[in-house]
Amino acid sequence: MLDTRRLSDRIEIADLLTTYTRAVDTGEWDLLDTVFTPDARIDYTATGGIQGAFPEVKAWLAEVLPSFARRQHLLCQSAVVLDGDAATVTVYFANPMVTVRGDVEHLFACGGYYHHDLVRTPAGWRSRRVTQELVWTR
């Protein structure tokens, strides 16, 4: 049975994941500061990206993702395991993105899982590590 605190934690974690996708899809890169701890480690190598410290990966996202005219991260079901002030989360994602060359749009899409290690901070839940796992591409 879930108590009020655990329900609140799950809602806050869902909001954190939504903030992540909104930041990446809208290009509001500074929103990522409210998602990750300053010392977070991020690994996007499964989808051809980089891995490294949060500041490095944040700068990389801001440089690379604008090459896609439109981006949309869709988050699906998530498995959340709460352990006091820590949590592990596996969330399914589908990620269609569009590039435009001349008058032709090209769709790239992939799907998989984000594996987050979260920690409760004075400012709320934050991701201290995320690893992307690729399941499919199109």
* pLDDT tens digit at each of 138 positions of the chain: 669 999 999 999 999 999 999 999 999 999 999 999 999 999 999 999 999 999 999 999 999 999 999 999 999 999 999 999 999 999 999 999 999 999 999 999 999 999 999 999 999 999 999 999 999 999
Helix or strand (DSSP H, E) at 18: helix 4-26
Query: Are 22 and 31 in contact, with CB atoms under 8 Å apart?
Result: yes
Predicted TM-score (pTM) above 0.85: yes
Which CATH architecture describes the domain 4-137?
Roll (3.10)
Q: What is the pLDDT of residue 63?
A: 98
Distance between CA atoms of residues 4 and 2, nearest Å: 7
Query: Which single residue is written with the structure tokens 């201290």?
Result: 128
Letter for the amino acid at 22? Answer: R
- For 72, list phi and psi in degrees, rounded to 5: -150, 115
Query: Which single residue is written with the structure tokens 């944040």?
Result: 58
| Partner residues linked to 136 by β-bridges | 111
Q: Which is nearest to 88 in space by CA: 69, 128, 55, 116?
A: 116
Count of Cβ atoms closer than 10 Å to residue 96 Cβ: 16
